[in-house]
Structure 1
Amino acid sequence: MVERVNVCGVPIKWAASFDLNGVHFLECCWNCTHSGKWGVFHHTPDLCLIDGGQALGSQEISKMPSTWVYAFGFTVLPNAGTISAFITQKEIPGWYATLKKPSWCPPNWVFGPVWTTLYTSMGYGSYLVWKELGGFSDKALIPLGLYGTQLVLNWAWTPIFFGAHKMGLAFAELLCICGTAAATTVIWYPINRTAAYLMVPYMAWLTLASALNYRIWRDNKDKED
């Protein structure tokens, strides 16, 4: 049986369980700044022995951040990109309204809910990967690094398109987002399939956004600053 709990802010994989003088113990292995070595947990756990020596009481363990804190943080983080909405508030009824758009362009009210949903989904996916790899370990460097890169590129698109009115540059930047997001999805798949699947709607929306960005750029080059 494999069970995961949170100690020292990172997941733990139980390796073995056994009974000693009528007391049930769980022997576990973790990967954190303490060592990545072995420790023994009482089932309750009223006592935790780290590296076979230092004892942590239940009060000290209770002070460690709960798993939901990390899940919430990772899930909400991508939504920081919505703060750029103040840029679009005046541009949508102004400059953007004057642009020629294809008939299949989604209505303006769709973009807010869609991006909130996609940001939340990919954020939770990043948490699953982070948890699966034991926190910010060496193994997490590339999977989370690619994710962070595409997220920063994503946040930069709105100021480029709506703020600077650089439709061509925004399209090129959007292609970079597609590339890094695709790489993130591929590298996440063997780590946590659920996380990779959570990126699929995002990839589909990026495809639509890229086509829309190109059409608007092609048909409105005279309105590009």
Structure 2
Amino acid sequence: MEGVPSWAPAVAFTLFPNAGSIWGSRMAKKATSTWYESLEKPSWHPPNWVFPPVWGALYSSMGYGSYLVWKELGGFNEKSMVPLGLYAGHLALNWSWTPVFFGNHKIGWGLVTLLLTAGAATATTTVWYHVNKTAAYLLYPYLAWLTFASVLNYRIWKDNQSKKHV
């Protein structure tokens, strides 16, 4: 990649997942002050201000991990198709949760989306581990957060089934 500074791919890969979440964060912010506030949530639900910085850190971490895999495998090529394809698929699932949950107010389908995301992220982590261990390790906090988010989503779904929010 002639003419591109050596640091540019690392920055681009790191920022990419964050850029994709901008649309979703606007949707979530709008719904949080109205629909989401009307839902019953467990006592252990984190305050709303926690979610943006946590997601920002997780997106940056997974983005940098994708850069490490891309670099290790020599860019976009046949060898990187599966590791980066799994990553792209899981990221698409991740980004789809917000429109499902906040946009369409489908709590149960949000849970299904989260569980699919967690499965795809687990597959991504497993494949990345065989390419670049550091990249895989960068996904561990994300997997932990997806587990927490899935339990939280389940509890919100369960506690609000009598409402028309499911």
Fold shared per TM-score above 0.5: yes
1:191 corresponds to: 131
* Seq. identity, %: 57
Q: Among 153, 156, 163, which residue is 1:216 paired with?
A: 156
1:90 corresponds to: 30
1:121 corresponds to: 61
Q: RMSD of the alignment, in Å?
A: 1.0
Moved over 4 A (4+): none
CA distance in 2, matches of 1:136, 1:167: 36
- Which is strand-richer, 1 or 2? 1
1:204 Cα deviation after fit: 0.3
CA distance in 2, matches of 1:180, 1:191: 17
Gapped regions of structure 1 (runs ≥ 5): 1-8, 10-62
CA distance in 2, matches of 1:88, 1:184: 26
Secondary structure in 2 matching 1:67: coil
2:7 corresponds to: 68
Matches within 5 A, 1:50-65: 63-65=2-4
CA distance in 2, matches of 1:165, 1:130: 36
Higher mean C-alpha deviation, range 208-217 or range 89-98: 89-98
CA distance in 1, matches of 2:5, 2:25: 32
1:159 corresponds to: 99
Matches within 5 A, 1:1-225: 9=1, 63-80=2-19, 81-221=21-161, 222-224=163-165
- More RCO (CA 8 Å, sep 6+): 2
TM-score by length of 2: 0.95
Gapped regions of structure 2 (runs ≥ 5): none
Q: How many residues align?
A: 164
1:89 Cα deviation after fit: 1.8
CA distance in 2, matches of 1:82, 1:175: 22
CA distance in 2, matches of 1:67, 1:184: 26
- Which is helix-richer, 1 or 2? 2
Higher mean C-alpha deviation, range 168-177 or range 84-93: 84-93
Task: Specify the structure having the higher radius of gyration (Cα).
Answer: 1
